Structure 1
Amino acid sequence: MKTLVGQERTLGGLPMGVVWGFVATLIFMAGDGLEHAWLSPYLIEKGLTVQQSATLFAVYGAILAIASYFSGVLTEMWGPRKVMVIGLVTWLIGQVLFIEYGLKLNNFAIMLPTYGIRGLGYPLFCYSFLVWVTYRSPERILATAVGLFWAAWSGGLYVVGSYFPAYMLPKIGYIGLLWSAVAWVLVGGIVGLIVVKGDVKKEQKGNPKEKLKSLMSGFTICIEQPKVAIGGVVRIINSTGIGSLPIFFPMYLKSNYGFTTEQFLQMWGTMWFANIIFNLIIPYISDKWLGWQKTIQWLGSFGMGVMLLVLLYTPEVFGSSFLALNIAGVLMGIVLCGFVPLSALVASLAPEKKGSAMAIVSFGAGMSYFIAPAIVGLFIGLIGAKGVIWIFAGTYFLGAYLMKFMKLPSEENNKNEIVLEKHAG
């Protein structure tokens, strides 16, 4: 796959197609996120058990992880636009069937496959666009471009996806909100398909065995480039710890310190708002001064391990201070930005197979949706909320250790040259 060339208007060094693609991502993910904060309690209120609700989200997470992997390798084979079309169509089909035959009929057997089908949608649409971004963006600002993507992604999913339902639920209700999500996704999908032009794809001239080889390239590259596999593990750690908090932490805060669910959601939204702002700052610092590897290792991995523990013990120190909780949340949102250069780093480790490398990163992002609730479910009954947070903090510290091995070839060459010069001297 080769980088597209040609005359095109730019904004801050980024092609305008990429910039508008960020807008499309935000709109698409806003639609995808409109039910995340309330669907589980709504289903339980309608008669489902907690176990059934957990199963629904586990199935969704497993399918999302598979789609996240294939988003990269299919983009290599077919180009981003075809994969984005598949993502848009499967999301719409899954959403309509989930509403009409799952929720309205309160039929759990239909909810499982239809919500699962919807889980194919956003990874195929958004992550294939992210692969395109890694090819279209100049390397000197690649981490910044990836940061803008994740700012758009989280801004849609967590910020618009939280505040829009809070305002609209009293006006249009739960089912009406889900139908409004169709409009959001359609608009974002159409904008994305318009701006992503000139597919950057490999020509598949081989037989079916060659195409199967391409599909498996995301895993074989882990053998060829072990650092890509490490990047995938760090990506799992990135989202698993932070993604686990809404599952159990609001109940912990309520039962122990009297914080309401609404207060947790306000803190959660504030945290992600801070994250979006610093998603535009931290990557610039990383590109210009700190470097990708050190940013991920110390700010992202080590910083998140520390901040999870700070968030845990803030109520013990400051009691029911909502201000203190928010300050801890804001700081956590900031250090979380340290993971933004990971996609750029992994893609740069395999410059001729960026799509395959990004498949592993995307697969890691998807797997976190499955692993986070699994860890909580396995351990919260044994060691409680505090113990679970210590587990996730430990995974972040593990990620910091793994990042020692994630230097770019150019950085290792420079280090070797310095060593040789010392020996020569």
Structure 2
Amino acid sequence: MDGLLGKLGMDRKMALGYFGVLIFMMGDGLELGWLSSYFTDHGLSVQQSALVFSVYGFAVAVAAWLSGVLAEVLGPRKAMMLGLSLFVAGTLVFLTFGITSMNLAIILPTYALRGLGYPLFAYSFLVWVTYYAPSDKLGTAVGWFWFAFSGGLNVLGAYYSSFALPVLGEMKTLWSALIFVLLGATVAIFLNKDKNHSKKFENKSEALKYLLKGVTIAFENPKIGMGGIVRTINTSAAYGFVVFMPAFMMDLGFTRSEWLQIYGSLWTSNIIFNLIFGIVGDKLGWRNTVMWFGGVGCAVFTVAFYYVPLAAGPNYFVATAVAACYGACLAGFVPLSALIPSLAPENRGAAMSILNLGAGLSTFVGPAIVGAFIGLVDTVGVIWIYTGLYLISAVLMKFVTLSKKEAEEAERVSLEEFQNAQKA
């Protein structure tokens, strides 16, 4: 088994952690593809639904930023346990008081509370991975993380919902999320064999200083800041799609189950290419992979995701193929998780906080663009805004370079961390 995992680029000590993240994120993401249409079917407007997802995304962004530095201050396991606690508490209050009332004043804070949980859980584990993996395998290691993350959040969650909704209904399907979250957390936190990496702080002042490092590092090293902007753009359209694309696709003649399966195919392709582009990034260069496959590729297939179904009509197989191509290009951004921490090898947690902040902001920016512009420029205008952002991300990556000195330093620190982990 160890030999097989080694050939796949996954260390046996971290394998259970990846599996736990997969199951946890399945519970977190099972409502992602249909909750917006549920809101609009029960009295909210598209703009109000976008507001809910934007506020949720803001909470995700805050927790995502905190995850990197909290993983350093508390250690990854404790940070992940904090994320689990917040997710469970948020789910309980949202399902008990929020969605049952369909009162926006209650839905906004309760769903936002739920959004604080998963970034602390998942992104703290990502920090754990970046410290443990050797530099020459880091792209593959983070590829496995995004395989597990996206596979749970967007694939298994979507497919599970497509079959569970007709049987359980919306509310019971939402409650079932707790089963997957608790199971995944048990595996990732308590059964994962690797020891924590944790930075030791002598006092609270030192810990607070490092917390602030998760902001200042973006200005001290502008390439890290630009990487955070690119990461924000990366999945912003994907999170925006769930706000308005279900209605668009159903207006074309697709059923809700077909839409969920098309959306699931997008992320099925994505998780496969997360691994492929992790390996490709290690071979062809992290920056070039992000710039061409990620930025330019996503720009092309964002446009196609709108115009091809519009021209072909409710053709399930054609729409699925286009969605899969977009999902594949979305994975082109995976090497960012190797490139950005390598720019600050002594402060990887802080650097990852900027990257995680970008990941969280994408869940805010994507729906916010819909809420702000769909009334002005309609669906097609929103599609072109996302397309323009992807092209901007490609241009920004031209400047996010890893010098020979930075690469050597990253390799040295990574080797020390890896040797310490092997001795543990």
TM-score, scaled to structure 1: 0.89
Q: Partner of 2:202: helix, strand, or coil?
A: coil
Deviation at 1:277, TM superposition (A): 1.7
- Find the partner of 1:264 among 244, 259, 265: 259
- Report the more deviating stretch, 106-115 or 224-233: 106-115
Alignment of 1:193-204 (within 5 A): 193-194=189-190, 195=192, 197-204=194-201
**Contact 2:144–2:274 (CA<8 Å) still a contact in 1?**
yes
Residues 391 and 128 from structure 1, CA distance in 2 versus in 1: closer, same or farther, beyond 3 angstroms?
A: same
CA contact (8 A) 1:244 1:372 kept: yes
CA-to-aligned-CA distance 1:196-252 (integer Å, 9 cap, x gap): 6432122111452x3322111111111221110010000001011222222223433
Shift of 1:131: 0.3
2:333 to 323, 329, 339: 339
Look up the SS of the partner of 1:397 in the other structure: helix
Matches within 5 A, 1:8-27: 11-12=6-7, 13-27=9-23
Q: Could you say which residue in structure 1 is the equivalent of 2:124?
A: 128
Which residue is 2:164 aligned to?
A: 168
Aligned length: 405
CA distances 1:51-88 after superposition (whole Å, capped 9, x unpaired)? 54333222211111100000001111111011011001
* CA distance in 2 between partners of 1:64 and 1:108 (Å): 19
How far apart in 2 are the matches of 1:196 and 1:409?
Answer: 34
Structure 2 partner of 1:68 = 64
What is the Cα deviation at residue 117 of structure 1?
A: 1.5
d(CA) in 2 for partners of 1:268, 1:258: 15
User: Contact 2:46/2:243 (CA < 8 Å) preserved in 1?
Assistant: no
**For the structure 1 residues 26 and 317, does the alpha-carbon distance in structure 2 shift closer, same or farther, using more than 3 Å as the test?**
same
**Structure 1 residue matching 2:346: 3-state secondary structure:** coil
Larger radius of gyration: 1
- 2:228 aligned with 1:232: yes
The CA distance in 2 between the partners of 1:79 and 1:412, in whole Å, is: 25
Helix, strand or coil at the partner of 1:405 = coil
- Contact residue 218 and residue 357 of structure 1 kept, 8 A: yes
> 1:144 Cα shift?
0.9
The alignment partner of 1:174 has SS state of helix
Match of 2:415?
none
1: distance between equivalents of 2:52 and 2:34?
Answer: 14
| RMSD (CA atoms) | 2.4
Q: 1:397 aligns with which of 382, 391, 399?
A: 391
Q: For each residue in 1:157-206, what CA deviation from the matched residue of structure 2 results, as whole angstroms up to 9, or x when unmatched? A: 11111111222223322222222111110011111112164321221114
Asked if residue 81 in structure 1 is aligned to residue 77 in structure 2, the reply is: yes
Q: Is the 8 A contact 1:250 1:260 kept in 2?
A: no
Structure 1 residues 103, 387: closer, same or farther in 2, change over 3 A? closer
Matched, 1:279 2:274: yes
Check the 8 A contact 2:10/2:144 in 1, yes or no: no
One-letter amino acid matched to 1:375? I
- 2:403 corresponds in structure 1 to 409
TM-score (norm 2): 0.89
Change over 3 Å in CA distance of 1:99–1:311 after alignment to 2: closer
Other-structure match for 1:306: 300
Identity of aligned residues (%): 46
Is this contact kept in 2: 1:81–1:196, CA < 8 A?
A: no
**2:346 equivalent to 1:352:** yes
Offset from partner CA, 1:341-388 (integer Å, 9 cap, x none): 111100111101110000011100111111111111222222222222
Counterpart position of 2:208? 212
d(CA) in 2 for partners of 1:70, 1:40 = 27
Q: Does 1:37 align with 2:33?
A: yes
Residue 370 of structure 2 is matched in structure 1 by 376
Judged with a 3 Å threshold, the aligned counterparts in structure 2 of structure 1 residues 413 and 47 are, in CA distance, closer, same or farther, namely closer
Q: Which moved more, 1:233-242 or 1:376-385?
A: 376-385
Pair 334,38 (structure 1): closer, same or farther in 2 beyond 3 Å: closer
CA deviation vs aligned residue, 1:299-336 (integer Å, no higher than 9, x gap): 11111111112223324554554333222222212221
For 1:89, give the aligned amino acid: S
Displacement of 1:413: 9.1
Deviations 1:374-406 (A, max 9, x none): 111222222222222111111111111111111
Give structure 2 stretches of 5+ with no counterpart.
409-424
1:330 aligns with 2:324: yes
1:108: Cα distance to partner?
4.2
Checking the alignment, whether the CA contact within 8 Å between 1:274 and 1:333 is kept in structure 2 is yes
- Aligned partner of 2:219 in structure 1 is 223
Give the SS at the match of 1:407: coil
Q: Tell me how far 1:254 sits from its aligned partner.
A: 4.3
After alignment, is 124-133 or 55-64 more displaced?
Answer: 55-64
Asked if the contact 1:228/1:346 (under 8 Å) is kept, the reply is yes
Cα distance in 2, alignment partners of residues 392 and 138 from structure 1: 35
